[in-house]
Structure 1
Amino acid sequence: MSDPKFNFTQASLTALAAPERRTYYGDTTQRHLFVSVHPSGEKTFYVVRKVGGKPVRVMLGRFDPGTPGNREIPADTDPLDLVGNAASLNIRMARALASAVNVQLDRGINPATERKRNRQAKEAEPTLRQAFERYYRDHLIPHGKRTAEELRGDFARYLGIVPTRPPGGMGPTPKKPECAVDWERRKLSSIQPEEVRRWMVGLKDGIGPRTANKAFALLRAIYRKAGEWRLYVGDDPCEGIPKFPERERSRFLQGHELPAFFEALGRCESDNFRHYILLSLATGARKGNVLAMRWADLDFTAGLWTIPGEKSKSGDPMVIPLTSIAREVLAARRGNGGEWVFPSRAACGHITDFQKPWDDLLKAAGLEDVRLHDLRRSLGSWTAMQGASLAIVGRALGHRSSDATHVYARLHTDPVLDAMERGLSAMLAHGGVTEAGNVVSLKPSQQPPTRTKRQE
C-alpha cells in the first residue's frame, strides 16, 4: 500500500494531526495494523489486508492516548471478543487484537463477518416466551399432552407473567408466587445456571420441592426442544442441575376434618366449584381429568366414565365407575349444553383451575396443608380403610404398575364401585352428611349437621 508506515508509539500517534480527508498509517511492528485518522481528529485501529485476492478491513477499536501504554488485554478475555467492541485501545492492545485477527484471516475466517452473523443470530434468538409457545404449539398439542393447559399455567405462574384476567374471563385470577420469576421476555442465552439454581431454591423454600422440580422440568424441556429444533444453539442453563429429593405425600382428609370441610363446602357460592369438589371425591380422578370431563365420555346406562388414553397419565384409556354421588352431581349439571361438563369461555373450552376458591375453602374450614390432589388420595384411603384390597383401590384410582396390571385387568367394575361407595359413605358419615343428596344440593344457606364429637 502507498499509505505511510512507521513504528507506532503512544507519542507518535498522539502527534498525528487531523487531515483534510481520512488518512491511513501503517505500523511497521505488527503486520497489517493501521490507524485511520479522521478529519475530526478521531483515530481508529484497523486490520487492512487482502484475503483470497479481495481487500478486507476489520475495525479493532478507537485509539485513546489517555489509556496507559502498559495496559494489556486481560488474560481471561478472548481478544476476538473485543474486536469492534473495545471503547478505547492503546498500541499494545491494538497489536494483540491485530495478531488475533490475522490468525483468523489466515484461516479464511473474517471476524467482522462472524461478529455480524452472531449479532444477527442474537437478534433472531427467541425469548423464553417465544420458545415456550413453540414448545406448546409444536410438541404439547400435536402429541396430545394432557397437561398442555396446565403447563401453560405453570409457565405463567413460575416463569412468566400471569394474566390480569383468568382465561375466558371466568373464574379466579391466577396468582404469581413471590418466589417465582418473570423471564419470559429474556433471550434464552441470557439466563444463567446460577439464576436457575436460585430460582429453584426459592420455589423449594417458598412452595415445596415437588413444585420446584415440576417447574424446573418445564424449563429444561423448553431448552431441550429449542436446541433440538435449532432455534437456539447456546448453552443450556439447566444442564447439570439436579432435582430436589421428594418425599412421598400421604395427606388425605381425616375423619375429624370432614365436618368442617363439608360445612365450608356448603357455604360456597359457586355451584361449579362445589360440583367439582364432589366429583373429585366421588371419582378419585386427577384434577385435569375432572375439569376436562366430556359428556361424550360418560355412559349413564352402564354407569361408567371413560377417560381417553391421550388424557390419562398412563396413556391408556381408563374406566371409572360412577358412584351415586357422581351420578347426582352430573344429573344436576346436565342441560348446560356444549361438550364439557365444566364449560367456560377459555380457549380450551372448559374451566382449568379452582385454586382460589380451594384456598378460600381451606381457610373457612380451618384446614392446612391440603391440596386438590389430596381429594383423590382421600377416596383411596377411605376406601382402603373400609376393607378394600389394594388391587381394588388401585383399580378405582387408575393406578398401574408392571406387577399389578394383570390383576387389575381381571377386575370387574362392580366390586370397584362397591368399594368406592363404601369409602364415600364413610367420608359422608364422618362429615355429618347422612344422605348423598344432601351433599349435592348444598347451598350457601344450608349446612350439614355440625358434629360435636371429634371423630378420627
Structure 2
Amino acid sequence: MAKLHRLTAWFCSTVSKPGRHADGGNLYLRVEASGSARWVFLWMRDGRQREAGLGSRDIVSLAEARELAASMRQSLTKGIDPLEARAAERRANATRITFGQFCETFLATRESGWKNEKHRAQWRMTLETYAASLRSTPLGEISTQDVLRVLEPIWTTKAETASRLRGRIEAVLDAARVAGHIDDRAPNPARWSGHLEMLLPRAGKLSRGHHAAMPYKDVPAFLKGLQEAEGVAARALEFTILTAARSGESLGAQWSEIDFDAGTWTVPVERMKASRPHRVPLSRQAQAIVQELAKMRAGDFVFPGQKLKKPLSNMAMEMVLRRLKVENVTVHGFRSAFRDWAGEETHFPREIAEAALAHVIGDKAEQAYRRGDALQKRRVLMQAWADFCEK
C-alpha cells in the first residue's frame, strides 16, 4: 500500500492544479478545471476501477476525508464493496428517518420552485393533515396497507384531493429512495399502475371544473354583511372582491405597491399567473379600505397575519366565508361573478373585462402590438363594479 497521509491541510486548501492528488490509502483530492475540488476513494474490483465520492473540499476536511477512507479500507479488507456497505448503512438509517421528517426536507427543497403560494400550501396541508398517520412511520417501513389507510376514507368523497394526495406520497417516497433512505429494490407502496389500481375503485375522470361562484346579483347583499365583519381577513376579502384579484395577489400586497396619489396598486411579476406585472386601478371603495388600514400600518404587508412580517395565510379569506356561513362559494369564484356582471350588465368591451382580470388575450402578434394596459378604461369599469357591489 502506498504511503499514507501524503497531503497537508494547507496544500489541500490552496491547490488549484486540475487532476488527482493522492493522499495514499486509495484517497485522492480531485481538482476540476473550474477550481472546485472533491474527495474520492478509488479501488479496483473485477478488473474495473470503482469510485466513491466523499464530499467537497469546502465541506469535508482532510482529517474527515481520511476517517471516511479508513472506514472504506476496512470494508475492503473484509471483502465488502464500500459502495454496497454505504448503501446498507443508508438503508439502516431509513429506520431512523420518518416520513414526516423527510417531508420537511422534501418540501424545503421543492417549495422554492413553486411560484404559486396556494400550490405550496396545498402540498403541505395534504401531507400534514390527510397523511398524518404516516408522519411518525420510518420511511423503510411504510407499506401498501399504510397508504391505503390514508387514502380509503377520502377516495370517493374527496376524489380529486385523494388522487393528488396519492401522487404526492408517491413523489415523497420516490425522492427518499433517490436520497438513499429506502432500499432501491423496494417498490413504491403508493404507486398506482399495477398496484393501488387493483385495490381502490377507479374514479371517473376527474375534472377541475369551475370555482364555485356566487351569482353576481347576490354580491351586493353579501358585501354589506361582509363590511360589518371585523378583522384584517374580512378587509382582505372585501378588497379582493372589489379589485377582482386572485387570492395570492391580494394576500401578498405590500404598501410599496400602493400608489395613493395615482390610485393604483401594481402587482409585481412574481405574484402574477401571467408572469408580468399588473396595474390595478383602485375604485374609491377599494382606496378607502387601504387608507383605513394605512392608519394602523405596521410592517410591509397591507394585510398582515399574526406575525407582522408575514401576510395572512392563504386560507384566511376562505375562513371568513365559513364564518359568514356562505356555502358552495370560493374566493376565486368572485372573479367569475365580476366577469358575469361585466358581460351581462355592462357594455364594456370584452378585452377590457379580460384585462381587468389580468387574462392574456389574443395571439402573440396581437399581444406584441398591444403595448398599453387600458388603465383609464379599466378604472371606469372597476368603479362601476364597486358602485354595483355597494348598491
TM-score (norm 1): 0.54
Give the superposition deviation at 1:214. 4.8
Equivalent-residue separation in structure 1 for 2:141 and 2:121 (angstroms): 22
Identify the residue that residue 100 of structure 1 maps to in structure 2. none
Distance change >3 Å, CA 189–CA 284, structure 1 → 2 = farther
Equivalent-residue separation in structure 1 for 2:171 and 2:91 (angstroms): 26
Structure 1 segment 369-384 matched on structure 2, within 5 A: 369-384=328-343
Give the superposition deviation at 1:333. 0.6
Identify the residue that residue 3 of structure 2 maps to in structure 1. none
Question: SS where residue 273 of structure 2 aligns?
Answer: coil
Identify the residue that residue 98 of structure 2 maps to in structure 1. 127
Distance change >3 Å, CA 182–CA 267, structure 1 → 2 = farther
Identify the residue that residue 327 of structure 2 maps to in structure 1. 368
Amino acid at match of 2:139: L
Distance change >3 Å, CA 226–CA 414, structure 1 → 2 = farther
Compute the RMSD of aligned alpha carbons: 3.8
Deviations 1:274-327 (A, max 9, x none): 211211101222212211111112222333322222222333333322222221
Identify the residue that residue 54 of structure 2 maps to in structure 1. none
Q: Is 1:416 aligned to residue 375 of structure 2?
A: no
**Share of identical aligned residues, percent?**
19
Contact 1:379 1:420 in 2 (8 A): no
Identify the residue that residue 151 of structure 1 maps to in structure 2. 120
Give the superposition deviation at 1:180. 6.2
Structure 1 segment 30-45 matched on structure 2, within 5 A: none
Equivalent-residue separation in structure 2 for 1:295 and 1:405 (angstroms): 35
Distance change >3 Å, CA 341–CA 220, structure 1 → 2 = farther
Question: SS where residue 159 of structure 1 aligns?
Answer: helix
Amino acid at match of 1:390: R
Give the superposition deviation at 1:113. 6.6
Contact 2:268 2:276 in 1 (8 A): yes
Distance change >3 Å, CA 255–CA 327, structure 1 → 2 = same
Distance change >3 Å, CA 154–CA 122, structure 1 → 2 = closer
Identify the residue that residue 312 of structure 1 maps to in structure 2. 272
Contact 1:253 1:374 in 2 (8 A): yes
Identify the residue that residue 265 of structure 1 maps to in structure 2. 226
Structure 1 stretch 257-266 or stretch 129-138: which is displaced more?
257-266
The total of aligned residue pairs comes to 296
Point out the structure with max Rg over C-alpha.
Answer: 1
Give the superposition deviation at 1:246. 0.9
Amino acid at match of 1:147: E
Question: SS where residue 279 of structure 2 aligns?
Answer: strand
Identify the residue that residue 333 of structure 1 maps to in structure 2. 293
Distance change >3 Å, CA 193–CA 116, structure 1 → 2 = closer
Contact 1:146 1:310 in 2 (8 A): no
Question: SS where residue 320 of structure 1 aligns?
Answer: strand
Deviations 1:5-28 (A, max 9, x none): xxxxxxxxxxxxxxxxxxxxxxxx
Equivalent-residue separation in structure 1 for 2:134 and 2:189 (angstroms): 13
Give the superposition deviation at 1:200. 4.9
Contact 1:282 1:424 in 2 (8 A): yes
Contact 2:226 2:238 in 1 (8 A): no
Higher helix share: 2
Identify the residue that residue 76 of structure 1 maps to in structure 2. none
Contact 1:160 1:182 in 2 (8 A): no
Identify the residue that residue 137 of structure 1 maps to in structure 2. 108
Contact 1:321 1:416 in 2 (8 A): yes
Question: SS where residue 128 of structure 2 aligns?
Answer: coil
TM-score (norm 2): 0.62
Equivalent-residue separation in structure 1 for 2:308 and 2:299 (angstroms): 14
Equivalent-residue separation in structure 1 for 2:110 and 2:208 (angstroms): 30
Deviations 1:62-81 (A, max 9, x none): xxxxxxxxxxxxxxxxxxxx
Unaligned runs of 5+ in 1: 1-106, 162-178, 435-456
Unaligned runs of 5+ in 2: 1-78, 198-202
Deviations 1:142-166 (A, max 9, x none): x473417x6346524x3325xxxxx
Distance change >3 Å, CA 114–CA 281, structure 1 → 2 = closer
Equivalent-residue separation in structure 2 for 1:318 and 1:230 (angstroms): 44
Amino acid at match of 2:375: T
Equivalent-residue separation in structure 1 for 2:362 and 2:152 (angstroms): 34
Contact 1:392 1:415 in 2 (8 A): yes
Identify the residue that residue 352 of structure 2 maps to in structure 1. 392
Equivalent-residue separation in structure 1 for 2:123 and 2:236 (angstroms): 21
Q: Is 1:357 aligned to residue 320 of structure 2?
A: yes
Structure 1 segment 52-451 matched on structure 2, within 5 A: 117=89, 119-124=91-96, 126-141=97-112, 143=113, 145-147=115-117, 151-152=120-121, 154-156=123-125, 158-160=126-128, 181-192=132-143, 196=147, 199-200=150-151, 202-203=153-154, 205-207=156-158, 209=160, 211-216=161-166, 218-223=168-173, 225-226=175-176, 229-230=179-180, 232=182, 233=184, 235-240=187-192, 245-249=206-210, 251-258=212-219, 260-268=221-229, 270-335=230-295, 336-346=297-307, 349-352=310-313, 353-354=315-316, 355-361=318-324, 363=325, 367-385=326-344, 386-400=346-360, 403=363, 406-407=366-367, 409-426=371-388, 428=389, 433-434=390-391
